[in-house]
Amino acid sequence: MSLTWYVVVSAFVFAIGAGGVLVRRNPLVILLCIELMLNAANLALVAFARAHGNQDGQVFALIVMVVAACEVAIGLGLIVALFRQRLPIDVDELRELQG
């Protein structure tokens, strides 16, 4: 099983995630698409770690997962704050963050 296949899958997932960020307008789904892109990067990191027989890439992937969890916590906190302010949950109508 050539490692090129893994890298191609990673490229597909990244492109799908980038397209989703552009197409969707619900901030929840945009966060999900950012998760897709981060996961694609993780897959590429782990594939390259396997290619070089070196575990540093796996450590990098774990750190990326930590940062993704932080990003999710902050993003969902923002969405809950928007909902409490009775603002529309739609990125096209949210042009300013001033409370």
Partner 1 sequence: MAEVVFFIAAIGVIAGAVGTVTLRNPFYSVLALVFHLLSLAALFLLLRAEFVAAAQVVVYAGAVMVLYVFVVAYVGGDRSALAAPVGPRLKVLSGLFALALLVELCIAMIGTTLTVLDGQGTGFFAGFGSPREIGRLFLTDFLLAFELASILLLIAAVGAVLLARRRSGLEMAGDLSVADVMRGTHGTPGPAELETQAEAAGPAPR
77-96 binders of partner 1 (CB under 8 A): 77-81, 83-86, 88-90
Alpha helices in 1-99 (DSSP H): 3-23, 27-52, 56-84
Tell me the C-alpha to C-alpha distance, in Å, between residue 27 and each of 48, 55, 68.
32, 35, 16
Is residue 36 at the binding interface for partner 1, with CB under 8 A as the rule? yes
Q: Are 48 and 35 in contact (CB under 8 A)?
A: no
42-81 binders of partner 1 (CB under 8 A): 42-44, 46-47, 49-53, 55-56, 58-59, 61-63, 65-74, 76-81
Is residue 34 at the binding interface for partner 1, with CB under 8 A as the rule? no
User: Residue 41 CB, nearest distance to partner 1 (Å)?
Assistant: 11
Tell me the C-alpha to C-alpha distance, in Å, between residue 28 and each of 25, 48, 95.
9, 31, 16
User: Residue 45 CB, nearest distance to partner 1 (Å)?
Assistant: 9
